[in-house]
Amino acid sequence: MTKLSVNINKVATLRNSRGGNTPSVLKAAIDVQDFGGDGVTVHPRPDERHIRYKDVHDIRPVIKTEFNIEGYPSKEFIDLVLAVKPHQVTLVPDPPEALTSNAGWDTVNNMTFLQDVIGRFSEAGVRTSIFIDTDLKNIESAVKTNTDRIELYTEPYATDYAKDREAAIAPFVEAAELANKIGLKINAGHDLNLDNLKYFNERIPFLKEVSIGHALISDALYIGLEKTIQLYQQQLIK
């Protein structure tokens, strides 16, 4: 069964809009796990507009499943990961001002940089994943960075799913098959939801983990976090 890691950034966005500690990010991390999530994901940004660096330190002790930290590998981010030592770090090539992640790594032109960063995390015992699109040359080069996994950037799939789901999934199947062939484990994330997740999971048989935040937290506003996590988990049964 593909694992579900719940991104709780949007809980922090709501908290930060008013100040104080409501809703509690720490409680969200605990509840996600108690309600059946396989892991917790956070994506701290330099401006701390949602998850703050302090949140990352606060959350780490309550993790009993898996902790995944996403972000651009700036010096501050690298220092944070090495201090917290999550189970997994997902490297994302978004600049500080980006609203959300919107592209995968160019692994060819960033090879040396990625090798250096991944080497540091690997020495610390942290599993690494790099955010990547379906460009086959970038996937072929990804294995040379020594990353453990790739995370397929799934917004293009989600955007085209309603128009033609077979055409939407095709490049992801090809990318996943190549990654699997060359020894890379596969995660996925971005705009996956209750409408498109099951089909994606069925067509990518080697999928290890999905990271879902915006859609899941939005659904939870209507049907509750526990029920929402159960519904997402049902989509991941193979």
Catalytic sites, residue numbers: 43, 70, 190
Tell me if residue 155 falls in helix, strand or coil.
Answer: helix
Judge contact between 190 and 154, C-beta under 8 A. Answer: yes
Pairing of strands 185-189, 149-153: parallel
The token pair at 138 is 């970038």
The structure tokens listed for 210 are: 């999905």
Q: How many CA atoms lie within 13 A of 32 on its CB side?
A: 33
Rounded distance between C-alpha atoms, residue 89 and residue 77, angstroms: 10
Checking DSSP bridges between strand 39-42 and strand 3-7, what pairing results, if any? Answer: parallel
H helices present in the chain, as ranges: 9-18, 25-34, 53-59, 75-84, 111-123, 136-142, 155-160, 165-181, 197-203, 214-223, 225-235
C-beta of residue 208 within 8 angstroms of C-beta of residue 186: yes
Half-sphere exposure (Cβ direction) of 229: Cα atoms closer than 13 Å = 21
Query: What is the DSSP secondary structure assignment for residue 41, as one 8-state letter?
Result: E
